[in-house]
Structure 1
Amino acid sequence: MTNLVKPIPGSSFPFIEATLLDGSRVNLGQAHGDADWQMLVVYRGKHCPLCVRYLNLLEQHKEALNAIGVSVTAVSADSKAQLTDNMDSLDVSFPIAYGVTVEQMKQLGLYISAPRSDKETDHDFSEPALFVINGEGVLQAVDISNAPFLRPELDVVVRGLTFVRKQTDYPIRGTLVY
């Protein structure tokens, strides 16, 4: 069994950039707008209907996340052309970046899959993940999946983050390494 390196909650989130459709580069772990925390949603890509559904559902929670100071960015390994094509299926207003490399996927501890055929996609891609980075650039919460149907329920995530943001002494969980 190969040892996968997973990010440890409570550690600094790595500096990883990706590209937005307008050509600008974005630091995936940095909050934007009026927020001081960042939620990064990693999705499989255009070929995944569950990802499209999840991102559209995330849009419905964006206002509640912004109200507690959490900005949202999504990213995949898709190309600019694939993301452009996918925008017809997405009804979102948060930034979506493209072009995450396999090396960056490894840095984030993501599970990586190969396409089953050329009809699926033309590149290796990551399975879903969700990262919450606090105002100090520290990984507050992480969910890494190896399958498109295993994702946290967004209403539960929003309620949980609302609770954590209101508590001044709520610790980052899962920091022990054995």
Structure 2
Amino acid sequence: MNTLTYTEKLHPGSAFPEITATLLNGETVTLGKPKNGADWQLVIVYRGRHCPMCTRYLNALEKMKSGLADIKVDIVAVSGDSKAQLQAHLEQLNISFPIAYGLTLDQMKELGLFISDPRSPQETDHPFAEPGLFVVNAEGKIQVVDISNNPFVRPDLMTLVNGLSWIRDPNNHYPIRGMHK
């Protein structure tokens, strides 16, 4: 018997949900709320410390940080890892943007992410979100969304930064794409 499972996905142009997570210093961060003089925010949801592809992606994102800052796009990353798992992961990361932990299953579902169970206790000790990327504009709406059901498919960061530069140029009048539901 074939059973279909449906998930609710966030649509381009819709309001980004109010979701908070915790930074290592105990401070709460609201996803989609830019800081540091930016008016847009790139929200990266990564699988967790157990994922070497996530580590490489986050480290590569650090190299794009100044290009994003130039176009007033702030960055935050988050996973469902625990505080201890994030602390251990920081040994492999060379990043300066905020990274949060503790994304709950309900929050993952609210973001419309695909969720996986670990293959073994050695991988991790909790269900985790597969990769998600959201660009939230100055109105709090989803300008760009990309979700995957595995770690192998993610937007190329240089293409993303170049595309956002083009979108942010007021001479281009580029609307939010993918608005048909």
| TM-score normalized by the length of structure 2 | 0.97
What does residue 153 of structure 2 align with?
150
Spell out, residue by residue over 1:76-131, the C-alpha distance to the aligned partner (whole angstroms, 9 max, x if none): 00000000000000000000000000000000000000000000000000000100
Spell out, residue by residue over 1:121-143, the C-alpha distance to the aligned partner (whole angstroms, 9 max, x if none): 00000000100000010000000
* Equivalent residue in structure 2 for 1:102, among 102, 105, 119: 105
What does residue 56 of structure 2 align with?
53
What does residue 96 of structure 2 align with?
93
Q: Distance in 2 between matches of 1:2 and 1:91?
A: 38
Aligned letter for 2:5?
T
What does residue 118 of structure 1 align with?
121
Spell out, residue by residue over 1:127-171, the C-alpha distance to the aligned partner (whole angstroms, 9 max, x if none): 001000000100000000001010000000000000000035211
Query: Percentage identity across aligned positions?
Result: 56
What does residue 79 of structure 1 align with?
82
**CA RMSD of the aligned region, Å?**
0.6
Aligned letter for 2:46?
Y
Q: Please, which runs of 5 or more residues in structure 1 have no aligned partner?
A: none
How far the C-alpha of 1:57 sits from its partner, in A, is 0.1
Aligned letter for 1:170?
Y
Q: Please, which runs of 5 or more residues in structure 2 have no aligned partner?
A: none
Alignment length (residue pairs): 177
Q: Distance in 2 between matches of 1:100 and 1:175?
A: 27
User: Are 1:37 and 2:31 an aligned pair?
Assistant: no
Aligned letter for 1:171?
P
| TM-score normalized by the length of structure 1 | 0.98
Counterpart of 1:44 in 2: which secondary structure? coil
Counterpart of 2:95 in 1: which secondary structure? coil
